[in-house]
Chains A and B, each alone.
Chain A
């Protein structure tokens, strides 16, 4: 089967790679582009560890063929900080100890960013339901939710 030439923009940078038809977006990020921050936890869209944002939409990269990324804008965890300036969500996750093993953390941060981009003032319930697709086995979610709500408050403050 012939490989397809894919042109996409990842974290603001134009990027090209060759994709086997069966390659997922997740495989492309991790294996072709060396961006291993996005994780595979299940491969079937049930854990959210592979979360990325495509054309502004939060998706599971394991459920997308790499070929579908042609012409699209992809944002991953690697693009969240501005140089060494952490995104408020990243900073709050650290302050609140919202990670233990850290494996679900990239997916959760990307998903949380997508939430706050769409809804800057979510309630606790809205945060929990938005993030229901991101499994965490270590924390019981308590500190994660607190970190997201705290970051949201900071970000609203900064806009004022």
Chain B
């Protein structure tokens, strides 16, 4: 790989300064960046390792919600009992990336900022209404996760900015989420289609809030408002599931590539939206229809 300088700052401000230099790239888990360095797709002058910055690794509860350090690996998320209970979809999305080895390194922020349309952790972060705290040369700002990816490999981050932490909002009772993806094998593949569904139910089991996000069916993950509308107010009966399926399919703008065809992705998006919704519904305490 092309030669670069390696820096490992210990404060966020140092990192923002280092990342402002031309040709600087952030290193979190490294499971995307190292592949790109070796293939020559990325040829940075400077690689800024974020993992030694205080606050970048770890999960804490705050105001009923969760704050996840941007460089926290997926495996650590899975080991956090409270997070796994409140946000099983977010955790399972992160823990489907790659392999056990990859999950020992790959981070939510890295998965997000690599901006692959098929990123596994992104649909549930979007459906969960997660936000990012972004640190840059001009200080800190907060932005919704779905505003970060602007296209394949492209983000809305300004030079010098990086995602410092991911915040998940407080959870009302009877809320849960789920992530499903379609891959040809059982592990190790990039998602051909991904669906993240986040539901809030009332005491009667009626869906009061729903967020449905699809991955790998458009240049970025999609938050599908029509899919939410399709099921809000229902108990996820057959008719609601049918509407959900149709709304998911209608929202897709996929491509043909070596992993799947347009037609296949559209159909499977509907299937996974339904199935993920059913799982989230059951997790949230709704009985199976």
Contact = CB atoms under 8 A, between A and B. Distances in A.
Contacts of A64: 30, 34, 105
Interface of B: 1-6, 8, 27, 29-31, 34-35, 37-38, 47, 49, 51, 73, 75, 98-102, 104-105, 186-188
Given A21-B3, A22-B4, A64-B105, A132 B99 contact: yes
A67 B6 contact: yes
A62 B34 contact: yes
Contact of A111 (B3, B49, B101): B101
A51 B8 contact: no
Contact of B102 (A21, A22, A114, A133): A133
A24 B8 CA distance: 16
B34 A20 contact: no
A58 B101 contact: yes
Interface stretch (A38-46, A86-94, A98-106, A141-149): A38-46
A45 B33 CA distance: 11
A22 B3 contact: yes
B3 A20 contact: yes
Contacts of A60: 31, 99, 101-102, 105
Given A63-B34, A132-B188, A68 B49 contact: yes
B1 A22 contact: yes
Nearest to B1: A22
10 contacts: A20-B3, A21-B4, A21-B47, A22-B3, A22-B4, A43-B38, A48-B99, A60-B105, A64-B105, A67-B6
B30 A68 contact: yes
Given A58-B101, A60-B102, A68-B49, A45 B6 contact: no
